Amino acid sequence: MNKNDKLHTENMKMTFIFMRLKKTSMASKQKVTELDLFMKQIKKKNPGEQEFHQAVYEVAETLMPFLDSNPKYKQAKILERIAEPDRVIMFRVGWLDDKGEFQVNRGFRIQMNNAIGPYKGGLRFHPTVYLGILKFLAFEQVFKNSLTGLPMGGGKGGTDFDPKGKSDNEVMRFCQSFMIELSKHIGADTDVPAGDIGVGGREIGFLFGQYKRLRNEFTGVLTGKSIDFGGSLIRPEATGFGTVYFVEEMLATRKDKIKGKTVVISGSGNVAQYAAEKVIALGGKVVTLSDSDGYIYDEKGITQEKLEFVMQLKNEKRGRIKEYAEKYGCQFIPRKTPWGVKCDIALPCATQNELNGDDAKKLTRNGCIAVAEGANMPSTLEAANWFIKKEILYAPGKASNAGGVAVSGLEMSQNSLRLSWTRDEVDARLKGIMKSIHASCIKYGTDANGVCNYVKGANIGGFVKVADAMLAQGLV
Ligand code: NDP
């Protein structure tokens, strides 16, 4: 080959590389544009619903490349259809307080998607509840329920009624009035609500009692029921326990364990309490818990005995976490979240967007190696992206907190069979489900460098089953 030929060949090579680069950069530009266009539509159709926009964005961002390589989903506009609720029900709830005064609240049920089973998802009673929060929760629920491998569609509901500071009778009257309307839209084979923030065993009991009275039927229309009337063992523990089982699975990929680790937990409600219990049982040290007033920092570690005090304080006395600090002589830090406390593992178990980008940086700077979300969407987009960038073990709620709805699914099965499984049986099934959700994340989320992006894994893993069912069922 003479000098000119060599030059020509080199030129051809460069042109080829340039064309490929241009094509790649055009393709990625095109992806950004598609995502932008998609989000523009979402925002236009759902104005002011920021939490919903955030949840949809997080899923769409990781799904778009997958859709590009699987055009059948794109042609059938599956993502657009999943982001549009099947039905949104909104209603007035009038009730009488203890002084005999009229009170009015707003009730909701979002029936998001029932491609793989009856709508399933909790009810939230909290003054911040509005459409944007419930639509984000219902959207997340579709993917989460699919990941469990059980036949459950996604839904969510609730009200802006605040049970805090209300008497048991006021809560009962509210629940009864709420159920008068809700009962028209739910049923064991249609839509099966459960608890969430502000809705525990007491509320589920009142709601179930009223449904039974209105319909004259004893069915598995709600989950999270007391064990005396159709509940499942391990249901109260399931979300917290499941989150910790998921952490054990993640740590095992790095040949590590919870034993001996320092764990920071936010919240002190249902999820936080049982996440703490399981961490303690596995030999970890829990040093914080919180509520909306601030957090307690117990350097010596929260023992099972101290945790029982918290359970009584929160579930029976309905007191504030500050009282823990007063009783055990540790620090209470008002109006702050616990993410600046040095730890190996962080479990946000309170509420959405409670951990921001700065908090995420503090955690990794302090040596945190794993974050698993017990709450739904507790990390902001910035925080989530930081964890992914730092390649720490980061599990999004739709994977790590799926244990709650999984055991709700098992409660539905037991109700249909009119059987009760033992504690060990339910716990073993829960462990198996968390293991298989983890495997699904690894399958769909492992990048070329061998690191698992659990957000991508959970989104694609949850999407595929629902999308295939939607394809098979036609345009409905
Ligand atoms: P609870 O009502 O039992 O507890 C909620 C806890 O979070 C309380 O400590 C509460 O403090 C705190 N909290 C609530 N809102 C805020 C806020 N705006 N700022 C700071 N703290 C707050 O609820 P759960 O434990 O059931 O739910 C917690 C999270 O887990 C939610 O995101 C929920 O969606 C999610 N989840 C729950 C499941 C379940 O089975 N229960 C299943 C899957 C996910 P305070 O008392 O002061 O309000």
> Following DSSP, what letter does each residue of 84-141 receive, concatenated?
S-SEEEEEEEEEE-TTS-EEEEEEEEEEEE-SSSSEEEEEEE-TT--HHHHHHHHHHH
Out of 120, 135, 144, 156, which one is annotated catalytic?
Answer: 156
Distance 78 CA to ligand 1 centre (A): 31
Pocket flag, ligand 1, residue 248 (CB < 6 Å): no
> Looking at residue 18, what is its pLDDT?
41
> Is the predicted pLDDT of residue 336 greater than 60, yes or no?
yes
Ligand 1 centroid from CA 243, angstroms: 14
Regarding the beta carbon of 375 and ligand 1, being less than 6 Å apart is answered yes
Of residues 459, 398, 453, the one with CA closest to residue 253:
453
For every residue of 157-216, DSSP letters joined together read: EEES---TT--HHHHHHHHHHHHHHHTTT-BTTTEEEE-BTTB-HHHHHHHHHHHHHHH-
pLDDT digits (tens, 9 = 90+) for 126-161: 999 999 999 999 999 999 999 999 999 999 999 999
Q: Residues 437-441: what's their mean pLDDT?
A: 98
How does residue 21 score in pLDDT terms, banded at 50, 70 and 90? very low
Q: What is the pTM of this model?
A: 0.93
Residue 31 has pLDDT above 70, yes or no: no
pLDDT in tens, 342-389: 999 999 999 999 999 999 999 999 999 999 999 999 999 999 999 999
DSSP string, 319-350: --THHHHHHHT-EEEET--GGGS--SEEE--S
CA of 191 to the centre of ligand 1 (A): 22
Q: Is the CB of 203 under 6 A from ligand 1?
A: no
pLDDT of residue 315: 96
* Mutate-to-test residue for ligand 1 from 135, 196, 277, 405, highest number of ligand atoms within 8 A of CB: 196
Pocket perturbation via mutation, ligand 1, pick of 291, 323, 347 by most ligand atoms within 8 A of CB: 291
Distance CA 164, CA 153 (A): 30
* For range 2-31, the mean pLDDT: 48
The band of 125, judged by pLDDT with boundaries at 50, 70 and 90, is: very high
Query: What is the phi/psi pair of residue 99, to 5°?
Result: -85, 0
Dihedral over Cα of 348, 351, 352, 356: its sign: negative
| Position 32 confidence tier, pLDDT thresholds 50, 70, 90 | low
In tens, the pLDDT along 53-65 reads 999 999 999 999 9
How far does the centroid of ligand 1 lie from the alpha carbon of residue 267, in Å?
Answer: 6
Q: How far is the CA of 175 from the centre of ligand 1 (A)?
A: 19
Q: What is the 3-state secondary structure (H, E, C) of 392-422?
A: CEEECHHHHCCHHHHHHHHHHHHHHHCCCCC
359 lines ligand 1 (CB under 6 A): no
Q: Is the pLDDT of residue 431 over 70?
A: yes
Strands of 210-313, DSSP E = 262-265, 285-291, 294-297
Other Cβ atoms within 10 Å of 149 Cβ, number: 17
Q: Does the Cβ of 347 fall within 6 Å of ligand 1? A: no
- Regarding the beta carbon of 141 and ligand 1, being less than 6 Å apart is answered no
Gap from CA of 199 to ligand 1 centroid (Å): 10
Q: Given this model, what pLDDT does residue 16 score?
A: 45
Mutate to test the pocket of ligand 1, among 171, 335, 351, 411 (most ligand atoms within 8 A of CB): 351
Site of tokens 């709620």: 397
pLDDT attached to residue 5: 53
Instruction: Work out which ligand 1 atom sits closest to the CA atom of 293.
Output: 47
Nearest CA to ligand 1 atom 46: 291
Say if residue 7's pLDDT is above 60. Answer: no
**Residue 452 DSSP one-character state:** B
Residue 13 has pLDDT above 80, yes or no: no
Taking each helix axis as running N to C, give the angle between helix 403-417 and helix 423-445, from 0 to 180 degrees, rounded to the nearest 10.
130
Residues 248 and 258 sit within 8 Å (Cβ to Cβ): yes
Strands in 119-125's sheet, in edge-to-edge order, are 87-96, 102-113, 154-159, 119-125, 191-194
Nearest alpha-carbon partner for 168 in 98, 102, 224: 98
Cα–Cα distance between 459 and 60 in angstroms, integer? Answer: 9
Please confirm, yes or no, whether 156 is among the known catalytic residues: yes
Over range 82-108, report the average pLDDT: 98
Residues of the chain with pLDDT > 90, as a percent, come to 93
Q: In this structure, what DSSP letter does residue 290 have?
A: E
Residues 387/394, Cβ–Cβ less than 8 Å: yes
Statement: residue 30 has pLDDT above 80:
no
* Mean pLDDT computed over 289-310: 98
Q: What are the tens digits of pLDDT across the range 259-294? A: 999 999 999 999 999 999 999 999 999 999 999 999
Q: What is the mean pLDDT of the chain?
A: 94
User: Does the C-beta of 284 come closer than 6 Å to ligand 1?
Assistant: no
